[in-house]
Amino acid sequence: MKNSTTKITDKNPLLCDPETGICEVPSDKNEGIAAQSSTTQKIKPIQITYFTDPICSSCWGIEPQLKRLKLEYGQYFEIDYKMGGLLPSWKVYDSGGISKPADVAHHWDEVSLHYKMPIDGDVWLEDPLDSSYPPSIAFMAAKKQGKDKALRFLRKIREMVFLQKKNITKWAHLKEAATMVGLEVGQFKADYEGNAKSDFQQDLSLAKALGVRGFPTLLITNGEQQIKVYGVKPYTNFEQAILKFVPQAQKTTIKDDLMHWLHKFETLTTQEIAVLLGKSFDEVTQTMTELVKQKKATKLVTKNGVLWIAAEGK
């Protein structure tokens, strides 16, 4: 299976293409293709190296597909999250129709509707980010306290920037997210100001060596062959990659119990529930609205969608 895209040059990294589902950084004429990273331990038959970024709108767009893939085929693969460095600073990028933070606002609103994932672009008008490096380094710091907590941390800071319009380059918001997911904040701060920076630089070097310029990029390998899934793709593209390497793979049936998954993940968007349970967007909205009335859930309403939140103790 091949997933090819047209090479785009002179693009601002925040101008993600809804049609290809890619957030792309400018090309480096000296970039080369290197061998697959050997840092991922080979425990399961398939290894996935996922290059992403905390403020990548297209990466937010594939959250529903990734959740489903992990639930149905997670027994066959390990996934290693790498930070790609989407926006070093505004001094570096001034192209592709975006020359200042305010230009991103309307674009984020557009891709939100395209992916059916809630994104409020007004953060770029109210409290714009000047780089994606601080939250990327923060993820590396969180990772030192365990992969599960790091992924929960990544989820929280994405909810903050995409839905709550919080500038996640600021320490106060990073600290808040760390506290919410149970990180030891003192250690988190020490790592954030220390070794996490060099860890992040290693991710950037690996991305450059592998010729990764756009996000999301998933490099899926069985140790001998590799498939690249580039950009936001339908769920079948991810599933077919797994089945190519493990043709006999038996997918786990996802329990048709909305409240079970809401409690497991704590928060879910309408599109995430729809993709997980194979239901229509309208059907999910109707069901969740009723659960809110029953006080089994609450909701965070944004101008471009809803985040459903499990009610404590329900």
**Strand order in 46-52's β-sheet?**
77-83, 46-52, 217-221, 226-230
Give pLDDT, residue 89. 87
Note the CATH number of domain 42-215.
3.40.30.10
Give pLDDT, residue 6. 33
Average pLDDT for 45-68: 97
Where do the structural domains in the chain lie, given as residue ranges?
42-215, 258-310
Strand partners, 215: 23
Torsion of CA 105, 231, 27, 124, to 10 degrees: 10
Count of H-run helices and E-run strands, the chain: 13, 9
pTM, two decimal places:
0.88
Q: What is the pLDDT of residues 196-217, one digit of tens each?
A: 999 999 999 999 999 998 999 9
Query: Which two structure tokens, joined as six digits, stand for 128?
Result: 């714009």
Burial class (CB in 10 A: 0-12, 13-18, 19+), 237: middle
CA distances, 183 to each of 18, 71, 175, 249 (Å): 34, 25, 9, 35
Residues listed for the chain: 314
| Mean per-residue pLDDT over the chain, rounded | 89
Kindly tell me if the per-residue pLDDT of 28 is higher than 60. Answer: no
What is the C-alpha to C-alpha distance for residues 185 and 199, in angstroms, rounded to an integer? 19
What is the C-alpha to C-alpha distance for residues 33 and 287, in angstroms, rounded to an integer? 48
CATH, domain 258-310, list 3.30.1490.20, 1.10.10.10, 3.10.180.10, 3.60.110.10: 1.10.10.10
Q: What is the pLDDT of residues 124-152, one digit of tens each?
A: 999 999 999 999 999 999 999 999 999 99
CA distances, 232 to each of 68, 163, 168, 216, 294 (Å): 14, 20, 23, 7, 35
Which segments within the chain are labelled E, that is strand? 23-24, 46-52, 77-83, 214-215, 217-221, 226-230, 267-269, 297-302, 305-310
Q: What is the pLDDT of residues 275-286, one digit of tens each?
A: 999 999 999 999
